[in-house]
Amino acid sequence: MRIGDLLVEQANYNNWDHQESADYSKYLEKHFGSPDEFTNEQTVWHNIDGFKRVVCRDEYILHGSPAPHYDFVYSYIDLEVPEELSDELAKCSGSILIDHLKNEVGARCGSLTANAVTLNFCLDVVAGRTEPSKDEYEKRILDMKNMFKNGEKYELDWWPDEAGDADPENPYYNDDKKENVTENAEREYVNLEKDTIERLRQKYLPDWEYKDNSLQKRYKFEDYFEVIQFLINTIKPQEKLDHHADLGVFYDEVLVKVYTHRTKDVTDYDFMVAMQMDMIAKMKHGAINPNYDLNALVDEGTRCWKGYVRKGMKTMFGKRVPNCVKREGIYYVNDAFGETIYESNIREQALNFLRQNYIELKTCDVHGRLSEAHHSGLRAWFGKGKKGGAGGGGWDRYNTKGERIGKCGDRKKGEGKPKCLSKARAASLRAKGGKKAIASAVRRKRSKDKNPERRGKAINVSNKKKK
């Protein structure tokens, strides 16, 4: 009888503290037979599935790279790693274990597949086929997960995968209780020790606070739309864990507070939720990490200027700022003051508007920023005669039906104050709502004049709606 057989008689999975690692050990035992070593702390198999050694331990270690998960299974291979590469590989993942004395490398994760990906990365780095980059390592892990989600099997030449661990049809992973963590009355929550909370916070959530027995973080976004998108994107991980954060929602900020209500303090589930929300906020929404009083709202400059659109975020002078690039496929017509008054995704339409309204683009009515009093009584701005006379004929008279009745400077005797609009303004109104829009603007001009029927020089009055 082997020593392992004697240990099996004495050890029992019921003595393990973590059900998840015990279930995975049983899964390995089903495919590879009884372990060579079995204690109340771990199970060990030698020379199985392309690995030198596989160890499943009674532990459940929270790991945040490249996404929050738990580690409990170890896989080892023989590999001599040059000492100059040791630190570089260690920076790629805390799950890479290098032993220079034994000339072996181990990987610690939540499945044999993830360990195979990690060890294959180490093989490629040592062979010079890839650089020891954390981004490259995380990309490989995420690519493997995406293949699994898409029903594709991850394969390696040196890893036979005798247990079918990478097979999306594997019953172990298709079992709903393995795929989703569901909360019920039997779920046991255990508060983490204060020093453990602080250690995990510093390692995985350094810009969060442990305050009032909870993990807290205030995120600042570009606008309310980004806030809503963030809330939508964080629903799925919270629902999957059946563990939810308390949220305070503002126009461009979200206050996140995570703790276990049942125990009134922080458990490992709180770190799982917080880490996933943190990644979503920073990777998908470019959330800024504001360093200011939580009660003070400060504009962090997260918006792009007109004509530009945000394409992710970038770091400038040590701060995360929007990466603004010129919007493609949109053609703008600006007036002499730099204000956009017309835009189109068809270049010829924008050019035609520019040709038709070239003179009017120099007028202040299009710009709409100068004081109305500056133009009081200046008929030269309105033009006169067939060709418009002074000012180039940029203004026309319109009646309350929205109909053009002549040039602004050609008002008829007894007609009263002209109701004038610039060609550019009229064209803009016509494009938005036809004659009705023009008629509405004319009525506003009349109502704004203290003496709408007075005779004499016209007083220019804003025709824009009040906000």
Q: Spell out where 134-262 has E strands.
A: 209-211, 214-220, 246-249, 253-258
Which residue, 252, 284, 316, sits at the end of a domain?
284
Which residue, 156, 179, 202, sits at the end of a domain?
179
The answer on 24 and 163 residing in a single domain is yes
The answer on 174 and 31 residing in a single domain is yes
The answer on 122 and 38 residing in a single domain is yes
The answer on 83 and 27 residing in a single domain is yes
The answer on 101 and 69 residing in a single domain is yes
The answer on 238 and 347 residing in a single domain is no
- Whether residue 74 contacts residue 109, with contact meaning beta carbons closer than 8 Å, is answered with no
The answer on 38 and 162 residing in a single domain is yes
Q: Is residue 431 part of a domain?
A: yes
Residue 440 CB-density burial (10 A; 0-12 exposed, 13-18 middle, 19+ buried): middle
The answer on 274 and 381 residing in a single domain is no
The answer on 369 and 264 residing in a single domain is no
The answer on 427 and 364 residing in a single domain is yes
d(C-alpha 29, C-alpha 158), whole Å: 22
Structurally, the chain folds into a number of domains equal to: 3
- Whether residue 44 contacts residue 55, with contact meaning beta carbons closer than 8 Å, is answered with yes
Q: Is residue 65 part of a domain?
A: yes
Q: Is residue 378 part of a domain?
A: yes
> Cβ–Cβ contacts within 10 Å for residue 262, how many?
12
Which domain does 377 fall in, by range? 332-448
The answer on 13 and 147 residing in a single domain is yes
pTM: 0.46
Q: Is residue 39 part of a domain?
A: yes
d(C-alpha 379, C-alpha 275), whole Å: 67
pLDDT tens for the chain, 467 residues long, are 454 444 444 678 888 877 888 889 999 999 999 999 999 889 999 999 999 999 999 887 766 667 667 788 999 999 999 988 888 898 888 889 999 889 999 999 989 999 999 999 999 999 999 999 888 998 898 888 888 888 889 999 999 999 899 888 887 765 443 444 444 445 677 788 888 888 888 888 888 999 888 999 988 887 788 888 888 888 877 877 778 888 888 888 889 999 888 888 898 888 888 888 888 877 665 554 433 232 322 233 445 665 666 676 776 666 666 777 776 667 777 665 455 667 777 778 877 877 777 655 555 443 443 333 334 344 444 554 444 433 344 678 888 888 888 777 666 766 666 677 777 778 878 887 888 888 888 777 666 555 655 554 445 545 555 55
